[in-house]
């Protein structure tokens, strides 16, 4: 589903671009999704990533060294500072993405076994989850897919997108998570 891109202040965009280009700190007023109040922060911009129409700034904040993802549309103001930005010595954007920086992973791998209705499963034969993915066509026409994947929120969102066209068989913890979500969905629709 292609969503309408959120609006980004042109002044914010200019300050972030300049901060990245000139490797300078940027002061921003940033509102988290869970808050209504903006918080002023000093950022050390590292990279800009556009994903699903959302602009993510990878940056460190103040003197901390952990890399944060901040969306530009939640910045109500930005001001380029004269101070140089500092960059963690080992930062590599390609490596960050390759290691799952945008997968919201638990950091653990799981051995996924899922049964897809024929139509949905055929797509995974054309575009496998991993190069090592294995599959089997079951007697009922469903396709059982086996792959070692990162355990992540993105995996759960993706699986839920198949609705009743997928059954997670293993691991048991993921199967239980899917059952809990399905039960909550059932209750929501019964309530209305």
- The CATH code of the domain that includes 59 is 2.30.30
Domain C-terminal end among 49, 79, 98 = 98
- Domain of residue 44, residue span: 10-98
Q: Answer whether residue 1 is part of any domain.
A: no
pLDDT tens, residue by residue, 37-95 = 999 999 999 999 988 788 999 999 999 988 999 999 999 999 999 999 998 888 888 88
Coil, strand or helix at 71: strand
Domain C-terminal end among 98, 115, 150 = 98
Let me know: does 166 contact 116? Beta carbons within 8 Å: yes
Q: For residue 146, report the phi and psi dihedrals to the nearest 5 degrees.
A: -125, 130
Q: Both 74 and 25 in a single domain?
A: yes
Q: Both 187 and 167 in a single domain?
A: yes
- The CATH code of the domain that includes 181 is 3.30.70.240
Coil, strand or helix at 43: strand
pTM to 2 decimal places: 0.65
Strand ranges (E), 52-189: 54-61, 68-71, 75-84, 105-116, 134-137, 143-152, 166-170
Q: What is the tally of structural domains in the chain?
A: 2
Domain C-terminal end among 98, 113, 142 = 98
More confident: 140 or 95:
140
């Amino acid at each position: 589903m292609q969503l309408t891109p959120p609006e980004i202040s042109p002044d914010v965009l200019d300050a972030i671009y300049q901060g990245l280009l000139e490797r300078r700190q940027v002061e921003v007023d940033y509102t988290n999704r869970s808050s209504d109040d903006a918080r002023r922060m000093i950022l050390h911009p590292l990279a800009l990533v556009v994903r699903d129409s959302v602009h993510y700034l990878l940056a460190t904040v103040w003197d901390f060294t952990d890399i944060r993802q901040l969306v530009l549309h939640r910045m109500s103001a930005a001001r380029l500072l004269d101070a140089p930005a500092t960059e963690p010595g080992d930062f590599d954007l390609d490596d960050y993405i390759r290691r799952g920086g945008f997968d919201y992973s638990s950091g653990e791998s799981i051995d996924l076994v899922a049964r897809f209705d024929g139509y949905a499963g055929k797509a995974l034969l054309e575009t496998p989850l991993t190069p090592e993915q294995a599959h089997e066509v079951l007697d009922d026409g469903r396709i059982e897919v086996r792959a070692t994947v990162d355990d992540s929120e993105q995996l759960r969102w993706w699986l839920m997108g198949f609705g009743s066209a997928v059954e997670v068989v293993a691991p048991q913890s993921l199967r239980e998570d899917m059952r809990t979500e399905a039960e909550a969905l059932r209750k929501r629709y019964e309530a209305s």
